[in-house]
Structure 1
Amino acid sequence: MANGDSNRIAPHPVLEEYYESPEARRERVDDMFDSSAEHYDWITSVMSFGSGRWYRRQALVRAGVSQGDKVLDVGAGTGVVSLLAQEIVGDKGLVVSLDPSKGMLGEAVKSGVKNATLGLGEALPFPDNTFDYLTMGYALRHVADLKSAFEEYQRILKPGGKILLLEITRPEGKFSTAFLKFYLKGIIPNLAKIFRRSADSKVLMRYYWDTIEQCVPPATIVQALKDTGLQDTHRAVVMGIFSEYTGVKPNKA
């Protein structure tokens, strides 16, 4: 699923229902998130039956995030992971939220995110060897190129630093996939339109499922992490659909 360049790994093919080319993707995706930002937390809370914050916090703890750590949250959206990380690292730590959507970052700041930066995961505006952890919550499907993103993630990590990527993955079984598709592409988008009176949010949530359905296999993501030099790369699966991808930047020789 590369975009014509053998060195690039797109997380999913061009989705022509939403944009016409890889070059048009970024603007279209940003527009969808900007226009739906004020509704996004409500929608995802309903979608997860209110369990999303608990799960994200547990994932951060499992990854080893602790008091005093420096964390970069890429694709931070409305800041759910960032806020949880802020609680864990405390006043002696640092959490920076990065996202390409002004609307989503605005909601994150309203929610209490202390450090928000506009930017892309493939071109991080930070020096080498800055952070102990890099986190990404359900945004991996929205980068343009896994390879360049993972190279940047490793660059800004300190030696021994760790990547934690949270994603929703298409189930292996046909019945499970059909049920999840009905829920995420049918029920949730319509709830967004009815209760939030937002047609844009309905489109975004339909796109949300389509990126899940068309995403490259988990093995491709793990291999891309390995290919950038990360060690101890691993995918843990929770409830059959939640993937936790991890990798560690090698210590200096």
Structure 2
Amino acid sequence: MPEKTPCPPHPVLPAYYRDGGERVAFVRSIFDRTAQYYDRINSIFSLGSGKWYRRLMLRTAGLRPGQKVLDVATGTGLVAQEAAAITSPTHIIGLDMSPGMLLECRRKLPIQVVLADAQNLPIADCCMDMLSMGYALRHVRDLNATFTEYLRVLKPGGHVLILEIGRARSPLVQGFLHLYLGRIVPFLSGVTTSQESRTLMAYYWDTIEHCIPPDQILDNLKRAGFSSVRKQTSFGVFHAYIGEK
């Protein structure tokens, strides 16, 4: 079977790295340097809405008690924490490419953690009931390679849940997002935590601004082999991509 053409989630962003080869090192470094502040930053840009939304989407995607979950790009464990409340901490594996983020995750959650990249999961075939990813799809190198790995580790009948934020169709809402996420949040992050946090949130916004459209993400999930692929959108910008193996 011929290899699929690589599909990066957004073009090279020269303000942060010079080419695609430098992307991984930059992403790992910026998350390592801001890991201790990340939960505080998240509380600024989510306005307290994140916790209930993550748990609702996990249930919507099909997570049930007793099921095994691989939470990719787990960060400080914000999605894993809600998954553990539905199933059990012993049924969760948190995976991330940032050692700093995994350290913060282990401080608050008694789950197994793995240092690895989303495109190369050190997980056996067909062993997970659900694979989740919260607001990190924009940081992978290639959607096609990533989704192929996701399909591989899921059991038949297992589900993938990818939470993302995207551009708003309404110019008014997009203008508000640009002001809030593009200007206010980076400024507040820098003032209340560190300059690195300001850089992280500026990068966060730029990846949203330049990310490929939702329809292309859905198409890539289908091409990888997922069925019953769908998207649930809340407030015009929060997207939950769901698929089944």
TM over 0.5: yes
Instruction: Give 2:200's aligned residue.
Output: 204
Q: Contact (CA 8 Å) 2:4, 2:144: kept in 1 or not? A: no
Name the counterpart of 1:105.
Answer: 102
Does 21-30 or 81-90 show the bigger shift? 81-90
* Percent identical residues: 44
| Deviation by residue 1:59-114 (Cα, 9 ceiling, x = unmatched) | 111112111000000011110111111111136x6110000001111111111141
Deviations 1:3-25 (A, max 9, x none): xx970100000000000000000
Partner of 2:128: 131
Equivalence for 2:74: 76
Is the 1:97–1:113 contact (alpha carbons within 8 Å) kept by the matching residues of 2?
no
Partner residue in 2 for 1:11 = 9
**Counterpart of 1:214?**
210
Task: Report 1:85-164 matches (<5 A).
Answer: 85-90=83-88, 94-164=91-161
> Letter of the aligned partner of 2:75 in structure 1?
G
Aligned partners of 2:97, 2:227: CA distance in 1, in Å?
28
Retained in 2: the 8 A contact 1:79–1:113?
no
Contact preservation (8 Å) 2:102, 2:115: yes
CA positional deviation for 1:49: 1.4
SS in 2 for 1:76: coil
State whether residues 83 and 113 of structure 1, in contact with CA within 8 Å, keep that contact through their aligned partners in structure 2: no
- 1:67 maps to which residue? 65
Paired positions, count: 243
Q: CA deviation at 1:235?
A: 0.9
Q: Using the alignment, how far apart are the partners of 2:214 and 2:49 within structure 1?
A: 24
What secondary structure, in the 3-state scheme, does the structure 2 residue paired with 1:206 have?
helix
1:37 corresponds in structure 2 to: 35
Name the amino acid aligned to 1:245. Answer: Y
1:229 equivalent in structure 2: 225
SS at match of 1:122: coil
- Kept after mapping to 2: 8 A contact 1:109/1:116: yes
**Structure 1, unpaired ranges of 5+:** none
| Structure 1 letter corresponding to 2:147 | F
Q: Deviations over 1:202-244 (max 9, x none)?
A: 0000000000010000010000000011100011111101000
CA–CA separation in structure 2 for the residues paired with 1:147 and 1:112: 31
Where structure 2 has 5 or more consecutive residues not aligned to the other structure, the ranges are none
Q: How far apart, CA to CA, are the structure 2 residues paired with 1:33 and 1:6?
A: 29
CA RMSD of aligned residues (A): 1.2
Q: Deviations over 1:135-166 (max 9, x none)?
A: 00000000000000000000000011110000
In 1, are the aligned partners of 2:126 and 2:154 still within 8 Å (CA)?
yes
The match for 1:180 is 177
